[in-house]
Structure 1
Amino acid sequence: MKVLWEKEVPAEKIVVSPRPVWKCRACPMYGKRPSCPPHAPDWREAKDWVGHYRRALLVKFQVDMARFEEEKRKALLYLLKREEELFKEGKLYVMALFPGSCNLCDDCPFEKGKACRMPTKVRPSVDAIGIEISSLVQINFSESVLYGIIMVE
């Protein structure tokens, strides 16, 4: 995993709608991970929540598709580390949003109806709460990339 860039974006540019959540329904992880619908906040609640921020960081990660799960896990950990750094700088309400479903654990107990091992580290997926990533960046489907967001202030 390689961080290609971090870009500050005005929160008002973030579009939140039901469209990404409906797309989630086609994903094999739908309902299986705590970062995914229906466990993530509803898109309407998320829209209101995003409206209380002024800025966010959009983070673009390059990933090796041959090692996708491992690379994605590194991206999630990077987002959590940046969230913690920003919190320590006084950004009280900073919060990371994951690119896709949580895969912090190799074997997710939540999938098997058990308690999450890392409930304080799981963050909602960008899509799960209805954020249209295409409102922030031109998607190039030939790239092997993931996008995460950190809501800052």
Structure 2
Amino acid sequence: MPYDKELEKFGFLEKIALKMGAIDTKVITVDDVCVENRVTLKCRAGCVGYGKKLTCPPYVPTAGEFKDILNEYQYAMLVKFKSPAKADEETVCSIYKNWFDPDTPEDLKNKADTFWNDYFDYSQDIHNIMLELEKTAFNKGYTFALAFVNGSCRLCNVCNTKSGVCVHPNRARIPEHAVGINMKKTAEDAGMGIQFPFSGHPEPMTILLID
């Protein structure tokens, strides 16, 4: 990825992100954002929340549609965090083996529940930080700045999918994977690799489109 001197002008956003709790940031061109149809296929084939959130498939642009949208932008900022949620090796194995399986020992279920509660609680902090970065970019003249969030929206216990109208349109944002962004590949190409499967504290990453 060749160096672009233009990226330096977004230093103010990176400083704010780090001050608010991010552990790493990097501004890249949108040409370096990897978007793939197979990412959204995982939503359809492997997510229990499919169709239950207006910010997730099938209510959001497809990967193909998002590629066209992405081409209208110039830059994106990757923002990495470190979750306070922590899981030992045994709990991580339980998480990936489906901790709510009836054959999973109760103590491991409890550990996994604690992990996810901590993880989802912190995801709200990430959500707020990304909204603040979006607002900051907007107020600096980047009027099409748009934040994405890590993981599905949790602003409501039950999403208003029946009417198709979001009750928090000013705060709800789309998870990056929901439109096909391969964050693992994008992060690796940017030199900010995501460890997966994780050990200890996971390091979720989000993205802010800037233009």
When normalised by structure 1's length, the TM-score is: 0.90
Q: Distance in 1 between matches of 2:123 and 2:21?
A: 10
Kindly name which structure, 1 or 2, has the bigger radius of gyration based on alpha carbons. 2
- Point out the structure with the larger strand share: 1
Contact 2:35-2:182 within 8 A present in 1 as well: yes
Unaligned runs of 5+ in 2: 1-19, 86-114, 188-192
- Deviation string 1:16-59 (CA, Å, 9 cap, x unpaired) is 11111011121121111121100111111100111111111001
Unaligned runs of 5+ in 1: none
Contact 1:18-1:43 within 8 A present in 2 as well: yes
| 1:79-98 alignment, distance < 5 Å | 79-98=130-149
Larger RCO, structure (CA 8 Å, separation 6 or more): 1
| 1:53-132 alignment, distance < 5 Å | 53-65=73-85, 66=115, 67-105=118-156, 107-110=157-160, 113=162, 115-132=165-182
- Deviation string 1:85-126 (CA, Å, 9 cap, x unpaired) is 110000011001111211123x23436x46532022212111
Give the match for residue 57 of structure 2. 37
| 1:10-49 alignment, distance < 5 Å | 10-25=29-44, 26-49=46-69
Aligned length: 151
Give the match for residue 52 of structure 1. 72
Give the match for residue 22 of structure 2. 3
CA RMSD in angstroms, aligned pairs only: 1.8
Identity %: 28
1:140 matches 2:195: yes
Q: Distance in 2 between matches of 1:61 and 1:5?
A: 7
- Point out the structure with the larger helix share: 2
When normalised by structure 2's length, the TM-score is: 0.66
